[in-house]
């Protein structure tokens, strides 16, 4: 059970599945709040791009960059791997196509065979449109739900919104946030990495959504 919970925590399941209890906090601030992560603020797109490359090379996994506009090439600077969503969509598609085939074969050729226009009971031709449509439907559902599952949306709140400075990420500032859940997270090292990358301001971000027991 503990091992399964560990895997679920590593996948971040506790963020979007209410059935998974959150892991005990690894770091707690002086006020007694759970530490969400450490945020570095940058003045220019160039600076945050260079910082992202440094954080990537330092081997962090649970971190993100927040910018007011898309920066081309940022996914390379961050070392973001291609999404696994296509695999989920393919599974959905093959389920839809295969399910439609089996359903129509069972209904038309096994359970209730009926002569229509003298065609064979198990003629595959009329099944194709339904196989196609169910394939499209199931891949669309698995694309949407898989996307929501993988990115953890929708959510009502995010710890970053507790930071006043972070609001400027939609105006004119660029942010790198390294989360405390990262296996390599060490507050001193993260702070010095961000500062040496050219951050103009570094601050702790608390997770105020977790109840603190004094």
Partner 1 sequence: MSHAAAHEGPVSLAEGNVRLRAGGGAIGTVLIAAGVVAAVATFAVGIGQGNFKHALAAYHIGAMSSLAVCLGAMFWVMAFHLVMSGWSVSIRRQFENAMVLVPVIGVLAVAGIAADVFFMHGQLLTWMNGAVRQGDSLYEEKAAWLNPVRWGLFALLYLFIWVYLSQRLWWYSTEQDRTGAPRLSNKARFTSAWGMPIFGLSLTFAAFDWLMSVDYRWFSTMWGVYYFAGAALSGMAAMILVLAAVRRSGRLSGAVTNEHLHDMSKLVFGFVVFWAYIGFGQYFLIWYSNIPEETSFMLARKTEGWNALSTFLVWGHFAVPWYILLWKFVRRSWALMTIVCAWVMVLEVADMYWIIRPMVYGGTGVHLDMWWLDLLGIVGVPLILAGLLVRKAHAGPLMPLKDPRLPEALHHRNYV
**Residues making contact with partner 1 (CB under 8 A):** 45-46, 49, 71-73, 75-77, 82, 90, 117, 125-126, 128-129
Distance of closest approach, residue 103 Cβ to partner 1, in angstroms: 19
What does each C-alpha distance from 122 to 8, 36, 59, 89, 118 come to in angstroms? 44, 59, 57, 28, 12
Distance of closest approach, residue 49 Cβ to partner 1, in angstroms: 5
Nearer to partner 1, 21 or 129 (CB): 129
With beta carbons less than 8 A apart as the criterion, state whether 138 and 89 touch.
no
DSSP category for residue 15: G
Nearer to partner 1, 174 or 185 (CB): 174
Nearer to partner 1, 12 or 98 (CB): 98
In angstroms, how far is the first alpha carbon of the chain from the final one? 28
Distance of closest approach, residue 54 Cβ to partner 1, in angstroms: 14
Nearer to partner 1, 9 or 56 (CB): 56
Residues 88, 115: Cα–Cα separation, whole Å: 38
């Amino acid at each position: 059970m503990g091992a399964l919970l560990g895997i679920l925590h590593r996948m971040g399941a506790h963020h979007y599945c209410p059935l998974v209890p959150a892991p005990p906090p690894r770091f707690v601030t002086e006020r007694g709040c759970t530490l969400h992560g450490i945020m570095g603020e940058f003045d220019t797109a160039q600076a945050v791009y260079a910082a992202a490359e440094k954080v990537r090379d330092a081997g962090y996994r649970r971190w993100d960059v927040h910018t007011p506009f898309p920066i081309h090439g940022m996914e390379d600077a961050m070392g973001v791997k291609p999404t696994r969503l296509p695999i989920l969509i393919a599974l959905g598609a093959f389920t839809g196509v295969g399910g439609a085939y089996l359903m129509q074969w069972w209904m038309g050729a096994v359970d209730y065979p009926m002569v229509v226009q003298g065609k064979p009971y198990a003629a595959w031709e009329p099944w194709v449109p339904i196989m196609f449509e169910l394939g499209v439907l199931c891949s669309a559902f698995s694309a949407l739900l898989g996307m929501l599952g993988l990115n953890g949306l929708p959510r009502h709140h995010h710890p970053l919104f507790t930071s006043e400075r972070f609001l400027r990420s939609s105006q004119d500032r660029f942010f790198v946030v390294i989360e405390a859940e990262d296996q390599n997270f060490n507050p001193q090292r993260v702070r010095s990495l961000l500062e040496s990358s050219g951050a103009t301001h570094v601050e702790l971000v608390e997770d105020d959504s977790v109840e603190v027991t004094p």
